[in-house]
Amino acid sequence: MNISDMRRVILGAPIPTTEAAHQRLSKAKALAVFSSDALSSTAYATEAILLVLIAAGTGSLGVSMWIALGIAALLLIVAFSYYQTIHAYPNGGGAYIVSKDNLGKMPGLVAASSLLIDYILTVAVSVSAGVAALTSAFHGLDPLRIEIALVIVIFITVMNLRGVKESGTFFAIPTYAFVVGIMTMIVIGVAKVIMGDVTPVQPPDAETLAEATTASGGLTLFLVLRAYAGGCTALTGVEAISNGIPAFRSPESRNAGQTLLIMVALLTTMFLGITFLANQYDVVAVEGSEQTVVAQIAEAVLGENIAFYYLQLATLLILSLAANTAFADFPRLASLIARDRYLPRQLTNLGDRLVFSNGIISLAVLASALIVIFGAEEHNLLPLYAVGVFLSFTLSQTGMVVHWLKERHEEGFTPDWEWRFHIGLNAFGAFCTFIVLIILAVTKFVEGAWIVTVLIPMLVFLFIRIHKHYDKVAASLTLDGLQPGHIRELFPDQGHVPVVVLANSLNRCSLQAIEYAVRFSDNVRVCAIEVEPDAVIRLKQKWQEWHLNVPLDVVPSPYRAIGAPLIEYLHKRDIENPQGDPTTVVLPEFVVSTWWEKLLHNQTSTAIRDALYRDQIARGRGRPVINVPYRIGDELYEPIAVEPLKKGVTGKLRPPTTD
């Protein structure tokens, strides 16, 4: 089985470009692909609030419901903003596009870099969290956590390389399993609350509680803000759909918008439901606790039975597969940035399964690097997380404010209050997300958020350098300033290109190259670099014998180098050429079939290539190089110019010339 067969087994048969429209996602699948990140955050958002509030004692935990309502309000504002964006930018309008279009290049690039960094973090964090859930069940696997995390990343990568539709089908299962599980728990839990059938969960022992209650001043505004910021992780992933509009079936904007609404409805219900039940069942979260808040609620509501374990498993799966949302969005966003020439063009290539393979692989490599560096410990990575998302939220909402200001006359908002409403909503959203961003950056700065504040400008700098390079290339390549002309009429006489064939011995390989050269030019010379004097003596003898009618130049190389004498010789030839054209170099070359045979050859040609490359850089002018490969094998190449003694191939034979 060769590589191409293996590729087909792993990735599936190639999909033709014309199939692109059929590879789009239905709303049900798109919901699974683009919302696993957002929905999975309900597994830990409530806990993030409670963990902060406990510092002011158990009595303050009731505030969590108000904080959750505040977060839900913010979520609705952000979601509504993106709903508007989806319709305003039907070709995919994430924070990058919106910021770039409305705020300018730099804000766009900042949004782009914070989103890219956050997607990489999403993969690293969510896979690490999945592994943590697994190893807390099977302690024996703990030494293998990095390996397991990398296997999961490879698995998700392969699924995504197989194609959007296929991975959508596959990853839909855990997402819906999680939604059904949480919803069932909420329904039963709320029913029990209504019926007054509530058994509060066992509180932690007094010592643990006393230890957790650290804020001597009781519930301060700062504590509430920190709790709010912590709970805002519920918002991560909300932007995913706006980046992925082109993956939806037509009409893309409408389908994407509806999917966004469904996602937000689910997310809000689940988040508020969990927080409500946590309050009703007196759930307390402390650092280092063995059971998560959701697990405590589930145990209290469902009891420790099959339903409880089902929910635990579904949580584990969605946590590690939240990474899939990043795999759906990162390559798309990277391709948009690359299309604008701020990232390598290869990121815009559609692979043979119609996905941005290079983007998928880049994401996998970068996330794997993070996993290895941070030892697959998600709590090391969490402080880096969320800052990027809220930066992009703020930029995107601010962008929408400018958008409405610009478009207010064109779009035909009949009532004046309509655009005022749009602007007000987005401005309020921008303000709120900006506040959260500041809180996040301040509270998490020392723990690792500073890394992100360093990485974002670095990435922006990289974008700009790449863009400058492509600009330079474009300026070098432009046909501006030239007029079309008939090439053929200007070169009536082909066949006088100055050519030098490099050869240190005369054999079938070099003979083939010489024959090739004389077939297209009457200005051919052969050049031998005199590294070993003996070899040159042998070559000269053979040259006499074969009287090939092609001049042989021997270039001395007292220090046995190849590059420098060759370049010097070529420069001498160049001067002799009409119009100073660079002399063409012909390299006879061996073709062998195995890697170890390659090791035995062509070291010289590497040195020649290096020297030619450096000369081109220095002179600012390219020099054409012709490789004439000679296949080493059982079949002999039959020279055309000379008669073989044995039977040759018909049609190639010419009468020999006698001297």
Return the residues of window 7-46 that contact its own copies according to CB under 8 A. 14-18
Based on the shown chain and the rule CB under 8 A, indicate whether residue 644 belongs to the binding site for its own copies: yes
Which of residues 514, 529, 536, 566 is near its own copies by CB under 8 A? Answer: 514
**Which residues inside 374-413 make contact with its own copies, applying CB under 8 A?**
none
Question: Which span sits near its own copies by CB under 8 A: 258-266, 274-282, 346-354, 406-414?
Answer: 346-354
Which of residues 83, 374, 516, 569 is near its own copies by CB under 8 A? Answer: 516
Q: What is the dihedral of CA 335, 36, 312, 69, to 10 degrees?
A: 130
Nearer to its own copies, 286 or 625 (CB): 625
- Rounded CA-CA distance 372/566 in Å is 47
At its nearest, how many Å lie between its own copies and the CB of residue 33? Answer: 22
Nearer to its own copies, 258 or 521 (CB): 521
Based on the shown chain and the rule CB under 8 A, indicate whether residue 250 belongs to the binding site for its own copies: no
Based on the shown chain and the rule CB under 8 A, indicate whether residue 144 belongs to the binding site for its own copies: no
Contact 69, 276 (CB under 8 A): no
Based on the shown chain and the rule CB under 8 A, indicate whether residue 554 belongs to the binding site for its own copies: no
Based on the shown chain and the rule CB under 8 A, indicate whether residue 551 belongs to the binding site for its own copies: no
Based on the shown chain and the rule CB under 8 A, indicate whether residue 639 belongs to the binding site for its own copies: yes
The residues, any chain, with a CB within 8 Å of residue 398's CB and separated by 6 or more, are 99, 102, 103, 107, 426, 430
Nearer to its own copies, 406 or 621 (CB): 621
Based on the shown chain and the rule CB under 8 A, indicate whether residue 534 belongs to the binding site for its own copies: no
**Which residues inside 59-98 make contact with its own copies, applying CB under 8 A?**
none
CA count, 13 A, side-chain hemisphere, 4 = 2
Type and span of the H or E element at 184: helix 164-194
The CA–CA distances, whole Å, from 47 to 54, 183, 279, 305, 334 equal 11, 18, 11, 23, 33
CA count, 13 A, side-chain hemisphere, 405 = 12
At its nearest, how many Å lie between its own copies and the CB of residue 528? Answer: 15
Contact 26, 259 (CB under 8 A): no
**Which residue pairs, CB below 8 angstroms and at least 24 apart, start in 632-638?**
632/590, 632/591, 632/592, 632/597, 633/593, 636/508, 637/508, 637/509, 637/512
Question: Which span sits near its own copies by CB under 8 A: 35-43, 328-336, 394-402, 475-483?
Answer: 475-483
Based on the shown chain and the rule CB under 8 A, indicate whether residue 575 belongs to the binding site for its own copies: no
Question: Which span sits near its own copies by CB under 8 A: 33-41, 148-156, 430-438, 651-659?
Answer: 651-659
Based on the shown chain and the rule CB under 8 A, indicate whether residue 470 belongs to the binding site for its own copies: yes
Question: Which span sits near its own copies by CB under 8 A: 30-38, 149-157, 180-188, 638-646?
Answer: 638-646
Question: Which span sits near its own copies by CB under 8 A: 48-56, 305-313, 453-461, 610-618?
Answer: 610-618
Which of residues 143, 217, 415, 481 is near its own copies by CB under 8 A? Answer: 481
DSSP 110-136: HHHHHHHHHHHHHHHHHHHHHHHHHHH
Nearest to 426 by CA among 35, 83, 21: 83
Which of residues 22, 560, 571, 572 is near its own copies by CB under 8 A? Answer: 560
Based on the shown chain and the rule CB under 8 A, indicate whether residue 541 belongs to the binding site for its own copies: no
Based on the shown chain and the rule CB under 8 A, indicate whether residue 606 belongs to the binding site for its own copies: no
Based on the shown chain and the rule CB under 8 A, indicate whether residue 533 belongs to the binding site for its own copies: yes
Nearer to its own copies, 339 or 420 (CB): 339
- Rounded CA-CA distance 136/155 in Å is 21
Based on the shown chain and the rule CB under 8 A, indicate whether residue 310 belongs to the binding site for its own copies: no
Which of residues 344, 525, 540, 605 is near its own copies by CB under 8 A? Answer: 344
- Compute the chain's Rg from CA coordinates: 34
Contact 623, 612 (CB under 8 A): yes
Based on the shown chain and the rule CB under 8 A, indicate whether residue 5 belongs to the binding site for its own copies: no
Based on the shown chain and the rule CB under 8 A, indicate whether residue 622 belongs to the binding site for its own copies: yes
Nearer to its own copies, 199 or 544 (CB): 544
Which of residues 476, 534, 575, 595 is near its own copies by CB under 8 A? Answer: 476
Question: Which span sits near its own copies by CB under 8 A: 128-136, 286-294, 421-429, 644-652?
Answer: 644-652
CA count, 13 A, side-chain hemisphere, 82 = 30
- Rounded CA-CA distance 541/641 in Å is 20
- Rounded CA-CA distance 480/558 in Å is 48
- Rounded CA-CA distance 397/390 in Å is 10
Through-space distance between the first and last CA atoms of the chain, rounded to whole angstroms: 54
Residue 311 in tokens: 């929910």
Which of residues 7, 406, 472, 571 is near its own copies by CB under 8 A? Answer: 472
- Rounded CA-CA distance 438/423 in Å is 22
- Rounded CA-CA distance 44/230 in Å is 10
- Rounded CA-CA distance 304/299 in Å is 5
At its nearest, how many Å lie between its own copies and the CB of residue 265? Answer: 39
Which of residues 21, 206, 485, 575 is near its own copies by CB under 8 A? Answer: 485
Based on the shown chain and the rule CB under 8 A, indicate whether residue 628 belongs to the binding site for its own copies: yes
Q: Please, what is the Cα angle at 35 between 31 and 40, to 5 degrees?
A: 135
Based on the shown chain and the rule CB under 8 A, indicate whether residue 591 belongs to the binding site for its own copies: yes
Question: Which span sits near its own copies by CB under 8 A: 146-154, 183-191, 319-327, 585-593?
Answer: 585-593
Based on the shown chain and the rule CB under 8 A, indicate whether residue 595 belongs to the binding site for its own copies: no
Nearer to its own copies, 238 or 501 (CB): 501
Based on the shown chain and the rule CB under 8 A, indicate whether residue 303 belongs to the binding site for its own copies: no
Nearer to its own copies, 250 or 476 (CB): 476
DSSP state of 286: -
- Rounded CA-CA distance 27/172 in Å is 11
Which of residues 205, 454, 484, 534 is near its own copies by CB under 8 A? Answer: 484
Local structure of 269: helix, strand or coil: helix
Residue 334 in tokens: 């990277």
Which of residues 1, 194, 487, 575 is near its own copies by CB under 8 A? Answer: 487
Nearer to its own copies, 4 or 250 (CB): 4
Nearer to its own copies, 177 or 640 (CB): 640
At its nearest, how many Å lie between its own copies and the CB of residue 392? Answer: 26
Nearer to its own copies, 64 or 557 (CB): 557
**Which residues inside 432-451 make contact with its own copies, applying CB under 8 A?**
none
Residue 487 in tokens: 């090439």
Based on the shown chain and the rule CB under 8 A, indicate whether residue 617 belongs to the binding site for its own copies: yes
Residue 387 in tokens: 């800052």
Nearer to its own copies, 60 or 358 (CB): 358
At its nearest, how many Å lie between its own copies and the CB of residue 513? Answer: 8
Which of residues 409, 415, 494, 575 is near its own copies by CB under 8 A? Answer: 494
- Rounded CA-CA distance 261/255 in Å is 10
- # binding residues, its own copies (CB under 8 A): 113
Nearest to 256 by CA among 100, 396, 92, 119: 92
Residue 573 in tokens: 């030839």
